[in-house]
Amino acid sequence: MNKLETRIPAPIVALLLGLGMKAYAFAAQIPLDNTPALAEWGIRMAQLSALIALLAFASFSLARSSINPIDPSRASRLITGGIFRFSRNPLYLSLLLLLVAYAMRLNNWVAWLGPLIFVAYVTRFQIIPEERILTGKFGTPYQDYLQRTRRWL
């Protein structure tokens, strides 16, 4: 099978979940950053998210490979260095960290559903199908990479 099971890119999924978290917080009158510590931790998490995304984009750029999440078969090279040594999916990880940062700043258990739903949805409908496609494209080197590098972190 050379197709993903979703046509909704992970950034859109993250955005929709973030908007859902915001709508819930607004409806339930949950304040953002009700303590300075939550504000600081949320901001630091968002900064880490940005750093991970920049490193991943740089890796794709240096490898001159496609980052199209809808068509992973267009990848021209297997990238296993840099940030990809620590996570097979640093761009998805960066989106997850943004949702975690927002959940931290809301400090409400319902807000944590956003990151949990993101992990479940993206793993099932984006990452697992991508892994199938990339295994077919890159074979043993990709299978070796799957064995030595974690899916998320």
* 89-123: pLDDT as tens digits: 999 999 999 999 999 999 999 999 999 999 999 99
Q: How many other CB atoms are there within 10 angstroms of residue 99's CB atom? A: 26
CATH number, domain 10-67+76-148 = 1.20.120.1630
3: pLDDT strictly greater than 70 = no
pLDDT of residue 133: 92
Q: How long, in residues, is the chain?
A: 153
8 A C-beta contact, residue 125 and residue 6: yes
DSSP of 50-79, one letter per residue?
HHHHHHHHHHHHHHT----SS-GGG--S--
CA 38 to chain centre: 22
pTM over 0.85: yes
Round the average pLDDT of the chain to a whole number and report it: 93
Helical ranges in the chain per DSSP H: 10-27, 36-63, 90-106, 113-122, 128-138, 140-148
Q: For residue 67, name the pLDDT band (cuts at 50, 70, 90).
A: confident
pLDDT of residue 4: 66
